[in-house]
Structure 1
Amino acid sequence: MSLAWYLKRLSNMSPAEIAHRVVEQAKRSASRQKAYGWAAFASDSAKIPSIPGLAAALVRGASAERRTAIAEASARVLAGEFSALGMDWPRRPAEALFPPSVWSLDPVTGKAWRNDQFCFDIAYRHERELGDIKYVWEFNRLQFLQPLAAQVALADDPQALKALNDAIGSWHGANPPFRGLGWNSGIEVGLRAASLIVVTSLCGEKLSVESQRQIREILAASLYWLTRFPSGFSSANNHLIAEAVGEFLICLSMPWAPNAERHRVHAAQVLEVESQKQIFADGAPAEQSPTYGAFSAEMLLIADLAGRLAGAPLKPDVERQLKAFAAFVLWLSNVDGSTPAIGDDDEGRVLTLCAHEKTYADSVAAAILGMYGASAEGLVEKPRLELRDALFSSPAGGGEPLSGARTFANGGYTVVQESRAARRARLVIDHGPLGYLAIAAHGHADANALTLTIDGHDVIVDPGTYLYHSGGEWRDWFRGTRSHSTVTVNGADQSIISGPFNWSHKANGKLELFEDGGASGAWRLQASHDGYKGRFGVTHVRTLEADERGYVVVDRLDAASAGSEPEVEVVFQLAADIEALAIEGGYRLSKQGVFLADLLLDAAGGVSVTSGGALGEGGWVSPQFGVKTPAPRISWRGRMPKTGVRTLVRLG
């Protein structure tokens, strides 16, 4: 790990956090010297760790279509297939599905990480030769065991059961306590524990006696590690929720574990408090990412379900926050259930059939509605065939889509769902904070950015995430201002990047006004941010208003004092399948020959559209983690006139 990384990280730490980190490092040093082994976590109990009633919930919610989806997912695992984060792992033969080497393999580079080092000595943040640790972590979450376990519970499948026993034995043998990268991040330990408890709860005594013993040891070691090294201060985001979920589920399923009741109560308190912090009162996620919000919500949801089944429910505040999040997602959703790719998305899941989910946030919202029996008004009607749909009996949806305007003041979003000029449109305007806590790890520099769908087609989009640790300059591009549909001043990001998950300066967004227009429908919004005020003496103000033919966007810079007009770039990043044909004054936007809208700019300056191209100049979107795709990017560059730059979006 580089000295520069440490210095940048320290700059966002309070004195209390620095003291916490010193103590944490001392604990790590002490643990490094200790010779742990599985024997240290052996139990006198022969009971199976499980959540009572989870298997019954699966059976109740497993429709014929869901059973088919589970069987197909199980078959993929048995065929040696695994895909995640935009990458296919090398296919493994059925007779050797889980060799010891599979747990340390990077599928991108084909190289193996060392599994014999003390976990905290593995310098993964700046590793480039071996690959991005995200991929190896993903496989070690053991979430591919979930469809196997569901298939055993529903169909008593002997092949799936054998694969479960083989996988558990292989992981146990290859990953001794606190050696290797399976142990160096609390979120990974917590999610793996959740997967194993799903397995034991669905399969019970069908698992071999040896597998039961190995799972007890893995869970006991996990509980010890989670309680010894919890996330705190600027790291206490969704990682803290995952750690608390792991701790909570282990204690519910293994009440005989040392200090289980004390740890359970502590974990429940953490989850109850974090549900209020990481989901705002209006339902928007504090991480400033719909999918990260869904990830946190799903973790809270499985914890609340397990607690209720075991007679130890979380406080009603958790249910209230989850319902608010579901309502936020329903407003944000397109007609197919997809949400804008705002902020980071690393495809984190809790319950999964191990296939890419384009509409993950919508799926979690449906599970919340199913869990609490809440109204499904506005929920998109579609097949719901995920494992979480079966466990939570997700409703199918249906009825009229939401219509109107809704401002989420805490989260900093305004959403408009409406019919205009004989088209169905959804607009999302981001006027909120950069992200959560001091480092805003998963936020993007996208203040005043907008996205637009027309008749269900994504037109103006958020670019997405692409990569984390191994992304380098591409990581910065996808987080930066110029990749988003907003204004850049003098080529600089609104917020200053100081690391892959860190910022040294954060722009503050603000909604100045919203007038709904009443019966006329001629609403008007104005938002601003101060990201350029300290460096360039200007505040970006964006006004967006509706008229009978579409929308008018006016961007201007309010200067603290008279001075030269700065160089600006106004960007509209289009979806990859949108065609942009040059016409007088702008571009005609269409999809597969179907006209959707004209985008017209009326200020003097240079206008161009580029799809793909060099880093920093072209148009790119990331439809899923690890994948980037060329996409048209409309760019206006010039000196910002005092009256601003006016863009007309005329719906076709």
Structure 2
Amino acid sequence: MTSLAWKLNRLKLMGAPEIAWRVQQLLQKKASKFGLGLAARAPAPDLGRLGAAFVGDAAAGVDQATVCAAADAILAGRWNVFALRGLPLGFPPQWNRDPKTGTTAPMQLGKLIDYRSERVVGDIKYLWEPSRHLELVTLALAWRLSGERRYAEGARELLQSWLAQCPYPQGVHWTSSLELAVRLLNWAFAWQLLGGKTSFLFEGEGGQRFLRQWLDNVYQHCHFIRGYFSRHSSANNHLFGEYMGLFVAAVNWPCWPEAARWQALAQRGLEEEALKQNTEDGVNKEQAIYYQHEVMDMMLLCQRIGAANGVGFSQAYRQRLERLAEFVAALMDAGGHVPMTGDADDAQMVRLGYEPGWCPYRSLLASCALLFGRPDFKAKAGRLDDKNRWLFGAAGAARWDELGAAGPERPVLAFPQGGYYLLGKDYGQAGEVRLVADCAPLGYLSIAAHGHADALAFTLSLGGEEFLIDPGTYAYHTQKLWRDYFRSTAAHNTVQVDGQDQSEIGGNFMWLRKATARLLAHAATGELQVFEGEHDGYTRLADPVLHRRKVEFDSNRNALVIKDILECRGEHALALHWHFAEGCQVQGTRSQLSIEGERARLNMRCEFGAGVELLRCSESPPAGWISRKFDEKAGISTAIWRGKIVGTTEIVTVLEWQFKAH
């Protein structure tokens, strides 16, 4: 998509207030070319005014070996950046060079760089990720655990190199306020772990220069974020993250007169956005479960850092976090799997857990078990991970041990505001059936940036093993073919009409015409359970098509009957897609599939069209792929029934399964 086409599409989704605001922002950027509005000279900090410690001594029970191994790899110049593992970036790295493409971003005023252009910056995600400075915290953790000075000295060298190569406000690391905010969060953790102002790193004349240079940059980060908040149609998780960074910095370094104003502004923003961006029943409105995790993590970290400094958040804020945790718990099957609904970019706000098998969702449930005294969250989390040992300390570990045993799992089965509904039985047990149906809005605000065209799709796990899955995300700013595929209707377990998506793509993070889904029925208890919904995404066609789906679960027979009703007058080409997890062995004849899993055997029957087509690792058309991690994809089996209809038609698909004896 050309830059002009993107801008025209973006303009379509703006109202007059947003257009006026963006014009003001543009003028502000232009003025900064001449030094107007910049914080080129930071005021002297008052080192008598600093925040309280929010991480204490080396947390008991933390896996020191894995932390130090990660720190050793960094000191040796080996980095993990998304799909590139053990990347030889050197120590310190070239901060303005994209490690994936080799492109060096220009050193000009950051706000004037087109970071969306692969030609200008390469893959911006690979450039930005190391500069979030999670690795700085790794080195600081290793110092705190081992006492070996080389880790702390490495942290200083890493930070000094970044300050030298990325001077305020030049270069690609001074473009996005969210990136600055996450960097501030990690700087705050590193500061605390390294010992704050009493660290040996600040000893002597050279140490004092380093201290002043670091604090000057903290001030400039805060000043930048304050001037460039994400507003209007961009006021999603970016805005929340910007408030987080400003809040944490103001609490940790309250050593300038502006800090009190920054803290008040940021806390007020966090309180407002926590309620605005998340439904009362606990679903983040971006309709992307990984972004729900990110927002929850931001809320949690602000609460912990605030509490250590005598800054409390409202009961409404805390209740909303608890509801968000209930949604994650409801989605998580007995095997710990969470459907990959919507976009995901693998971001962590700060990395405090390095143990094998660490799971961000289980970690958050452990946090919420401690915050809210919830044995059911503890049961879903399974164990107290290292991240929570750092955040809650010895007192938290004691509270964890005191939490009583949970009874049988009873998940929330309906999230009518968020738009998700469960069918199933034996939750948390070996014979668990967990179906999650999507009857949600496409996404949040006018651009719905992180939503996927997945209305009326559902996922299915049996005995804690995934069978029908959401294939994930894979790409963001680059690889347009794959960016569009993974968020398309064809990449989800639902019906595609005339080769179109339910909603119209307008850019990498933008949707134009959006499908609206509506619940018709949901009965999630008893022997026969029902979900029924409809969406209007295809009513935009010349001959409008209304898609209605009814799912009936017979809990006695372990059987699902899916009825897809397409209401229309004329002729249309349909494609019914089903995506199976990697562990599933799928074989088929014209109207029947046999799906072999580790814990269950599933049969699928459908008489529609000329017969089933099985695709795996197909590039034309794209099909048969899953992306568990950003920029990584692997083959799966995708089953497609294609055919033509004339007038209103019902397609029936039957699933039956048996659990294997173990």
- Partner in structure 1 of residue 72 of structure 2: 75
Q: In structure 2, how many angstroms separate the alpha carbons of the residues matched to 1:156 and 1:43?
A: 31
Partner residue of 1:628 out of 623, 629, 633: 633
Deviations 1:129-175 (A, max 9, x none): 75210111100000111122222233322111011110111111111
How far did residue 122 of structure 1 move?
1.4
The gaps in structure 1 that reach 5 residues or longer are none
Deviations 1:261-288 (A, max 9, x none): 1121111110000000112111111110
Contact 1:84/1:354, CA 8 A, preserved across alignment: no
How far did residue 294 of structure 1 move?
0.9
- Partner in structure 1 of residue 574 of structure 2: 568
- Partner in structure 2 of residue 110 of structure 1: 102
How far did residue 64 of structure 1 move?
2.2
Q: In structure 2, how many angstroms separate the alpha carbons of the residues matched to 1:124 and 1:171?
A: 19
- Partner in structure 2 of residue 385 of structure 1: 385
Relative to structure 1, the CA distance from residue 581 to residue 44 in structure 2 (aligned partners, 3 Å threshold; closer, same or farther) is closer
Q: In structure 2, how many angstroms separate the alpha carbons of the residues matched to 1:85 and 1:474?
A: 16
How far did residue 384 of structure 1 move?
4.5
What is the letter of the counterpart of residue 159 of structure 2? I
Contact 2:43/2:256, CA 8 A, preserved across alignment: no
Q: Per the alignment, in what secondary structure is the counterpart of residue 212 of structure 1?
A: helix
Seq. identity, %: 29
Deviations 1:334-369 (A, max 9, x none): 223231110000012112158797732332232232
Partner residue of 1:452 out of 445, 455, 460: 460
Q: In structure 1, how many angstroms separate the alpha carbons of the residues matched to 2:225 and 2:120?
A: 29
1:91 aligns with 2:88: yes
Contact 2:48/2:255, CA 8 A, preserved across alignment: no
What is the letter of the counterpart of residue 406 of structure 1? L
1:368 aligns with 2:368: yes
Q: In structure 1, how many angstroms separate the alpha carbons of the residues matched to 2:290 and 2:104?
A: 30
Q: Per the alignment, in what secondary structure is the counterpart of residue 556 of structure 1?
A: strand
Q: In structure 1, how many angstroms separate the alpha carbons of the residues matched to 2:24 and 2:551?
A: 50
Q: In structure 1, how many angstroms separate the alpha carbons of the residues matched to 2:628 and 2:605?
A: 27
Runs of 4+ that moved beyond 6 A? 35-39, 354-358
- Which deviates the most, 225-234 or 616-625? 616-625
Taking only aligned residues, the RMSD between alpha carbons, in angstroms, comes to 2.5
What is the letter of the counterpart of residue 490 of structure 1? D
Contact 2:588/2:612, CA 8 A, preserved across alignment: no
Deviations 1:100-142 (A, max 9, x none): x2x112221133222x211022112132475210111100000
Q: In structure 2, how many angstroms separate the alpha carbons of the residues matched to 1:401 and 1:624?
A: 32
What is the letter of the counterpart of residue 533 of structure 1? T
Contact 1:613/1:619, CA 8 A, preserved across alignment: yes
1:461 aligns with 2:469: yes
Relative to structure 1, the CA distance from residue 604 to residue 9 in structure 2 (aligned partners, 3 Å threshold; closer, same or farther) is closer
Q: Per the alignment, in what secondary structure is the counterpart of residue 251 of structure 1?
A: helix
Relative to structure 1, the CA distance from residue 10 to residue 358 in structure 2 (aligned partners, 3 Å threshold; closer, same or farther) is farther
1:146 aligns with 2:147: no
What is the letter of the counterpart of residue 172 of structure 2? L
Contact 1:194/1:249, CA 8 A, preserved across alignment: yes
Q: How does 1:343-422 map to 2 (within 5 A)?
A: 343-353=342-352, 359-377=359-377, 379-392=379-392, 393=396, 395=400, 399=406, 402-403=409-410, 406-419=413-426
Q: How does 1:132-211 map to 2 (within 5 A)?
A: 132-203=123-194, 204=196, 205-206=198-199, 207-208=201-202, 209=207, 210-211=209-210
Deviations 1:473-528 (A, max 9, x none): 2101111101111111111000000100001101011111112353xx21111011
Partner residue of 2:509 out of 491, 494, 501: 501
Deviations 1:285-306 (A, max 9, x none): 1110111011011111111111
Q: In structure 2, how many angstroms separate the alpha carbons of the residues matched to 1:92 and 1:449?
A: 41
- Partner in structure 2 of residue 538 of structure 1: 545
- Which deviates the most, 372-381 or 321-330? 372-381
Relative to structure 1, the CA distance from residue 307 to residue 378 in structure 2 (aligned partners, 3 Å threshold; closer, same or farther) is closer
TM-score, normalising length: structure 1: 0.92
Q: How does 1:18-29 map to 2 (within 5 A)?
A: 18-29=19-30
Q: In structure 2, how many angstroms separate the alpha carbons of the residues matched to 1:379 and 1:639?
A: 48
- Partner in structure 1 of residue 240 of structure 2: 241
Relative to structure 1, the CA distance from residue 137 to residue 185 in structure 2 (aligned partners, 3 Å threshold; closer, same or farther) is same
Relative to structure 1, the CA distance from residue 265 to residue 37 in structure 2 (aligned partners, 3 Å threshold; closer, same or farther) is closer
Relative to structure 1, the CA distance from residue 237 to residue 455 in structure 2 (aligned partners, 3 Å threshold; closer, same or farther) is same
What is the letter of the counterpart of residue 542 of structure 1? R
- Partner in structure 2 of residue 618 of structure 1: 623
Q: In structure 2, how many angstroms separate the alpha carbons of the residues matched to 1:522 and 1:260?
A: 58
Partner residue of 2:478 out of 438, 463, 470: 470
Q: In structure 1, how many angstroms separate the alpha carbons of the residues matched to 2:272 and 2:37?
A: 33
- Which deviates the most, 471-480 or 18-27? 471-480
What is the letter of the counterpart of residue 136 of structure 1? L
- Partner in structure 1 of residue 222 of structure 2: 223
How far did residue 372 of structure 1 move?
3.9
What is the letter of the counterpart of residue 82 of structure 2? L
- Which deviates the most, 330-339 or 348-357? 348-357
Q: Per the alignment, in what secondary structure is the counterpart of residue 179 of structure 2?
A: helix
- Which deviates the most, 3-12 or 376-385? 376-385
1:443 aligns with 2:443: no
Q: In structure 2, how many angstroms separate the alpha carbons of the residues matched to 1:358 and 1:153?
A: 21
How far did residue 80 of structure 1 move?
2.4
Q: Per the alignment, in what secondary structure is the counterpart of residue 521 of structure 2?
A: strand
Contact 1:325/1:365, CA 8 A, preserved across alignment: no
Relative to structure 1, the CA distance from residue 188 to residue 630 in structure 2 (aligned partners, 3 Å threshold; closer, same or farther) is same
Q: In structure 1, how many angstroms separate the alpha carbons of the residues matched to 2:245 and 2:411?
A: 40
- Partner in structure 1 of residue 332 of structure 2: 333
Q: In structure 2, how many angstroms separate the alpha carbons of the residues matched to 1:600 and 1:232?
A: 49
TM-score, normalising length: structure 2: 0.91
Q: In structure 2, how many angstroms separate the alpha carbons of the residues matched to 1:153 and 1:245?
A: 25
How far did residue 375 of structure 1 move?
3.6
Relative to structure 1, the CA distance from residue 249 to residue 616 in structure 2 (aligned partners, 3 Å threshold; closer, same or farther) is same
1:555 aligns with 2:564: yes
Contact 1:323/1:369, CA 8 A, preserved across alignment: no
How far did residue 370 of structure 1 move?
2.3
Partner residue of 1:122 out of 113, 126, 133: 113
Q: Per the alignment, in what secondary structure is the counterpart of residue 218 of structure 1?
A: helix
Contact 2:115/2:124, CA 8 A, preserved across alignment: yes
Q: In structure 2, how many angstroms separate the alpha carbons of the residues matched to 1:378 and 1:609?
A: 41
Q: In structure 1, how many angstroms separate the alpha carbons of the residues matched to 2:357 and 2:576?
A: 32
Q: In structure 2, how many angstroms separate the alpha carbons of the residues matched to 1:52 and 1:372?
A: 24
Aligned residues: 636
- Partner in structure 2 of residue 580 of structure 1: 586
